[in-house]
């Protein structure tokens, strides 16, 4: 009976501690996700396919598991019926050749400003927001049912209950 009481007490305290830390982390992630998703204004918001117009020179890097290429590209893309031509250095597992295409995003106010980052930052914000909400839901669950989140504490306290410290 004493072992069970130690385990239950440990699980309860651990569950409360877990809920407070999850609530803190969830709140931070929630605010970061809201900022990235709804407040942050990305400058490079337009996506297009750019055509490679040069004879590509690539440096090959062979790693343990895969081969990467550092390619120096000259790309061409259109914005408002005007053609833009720029140099772009790409590190990829794909070796590019002339007339290949690459997806880029650019700033519509300054079409010379571009990158080949494939994801809209809003999606990163949505994922961060989701993790924050999940963490806060778990925190509320642990506050109401601390035994659910206290499994590790049970294992830790069972060994101390079986081998109690004796006072002299």
Domain limits for position 110: 46-119
How many angstroms separate the CA atoms of 16 and 38, rounded? 32
Assigned domain for 167 exists: no
Residue 152: the pLDDT is 52
Assigned domain for 128 exists: yes
Report residues of the chain scoring pLDDT below 50: none
Total count of domains within the chain: 2
> Are residues 56 and 114 both part of a single domain?
yes
Residue 139: the pLDDT is 83
Q: What pLDDT digit, counting tens, does each position of 125-159 carry? A: 899 999 999 988 888 887 777 666 666 555 555 55
Contact 116, 103 (CB under 8 A): yes
How many angstroms separate the CA atoms of 52 and 77, rounded? 9
93 φ/ψ angles, rounded to the nearest 5 degrees: -85, 0
Assigned domain for 168 exists: no
> Are residues 113 and 126 both part of a single domain?
no
Assigned domain for 115 exists: yes
> Are residues 51 and 110 both part of a single domain?
yes
């Amino acid at each position: 009976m004493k072992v069970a009481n130690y385990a239950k007490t440990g699980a309860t305290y651990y569950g409360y501690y877990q809920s407070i830390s999850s609530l803190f982390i969830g709140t931070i992630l929630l605010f970061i996700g809201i900022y990235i998703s709804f407040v942050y204004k990305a400058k490079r918001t337009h996506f297009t396919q750019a055509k490679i117009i040069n004879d590509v020179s690539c440096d090959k890097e062979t790693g343990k598991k895969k081969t990467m290429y550092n390619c120096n590209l000259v790309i061409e893309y259109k914005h408002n019926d005007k053609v833009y031509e720029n140099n772009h250095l790409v590190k990829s597992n794909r070796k590019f050749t002339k007339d290949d295409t690459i997806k880029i995003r650019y700033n519509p106010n300054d079409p010379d400003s571009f990158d080949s980052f494939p994801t809209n930052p809003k999606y990163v914000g949505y994922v961060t927001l989701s993790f924050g909400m999940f963490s806060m839901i778990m925190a509320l669950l642990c506050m109401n049912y601390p035994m659910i989140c206290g499994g590790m504490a049970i294992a830790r306290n069972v060994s101390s209950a079986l081998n109690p410290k004796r006072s002299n």
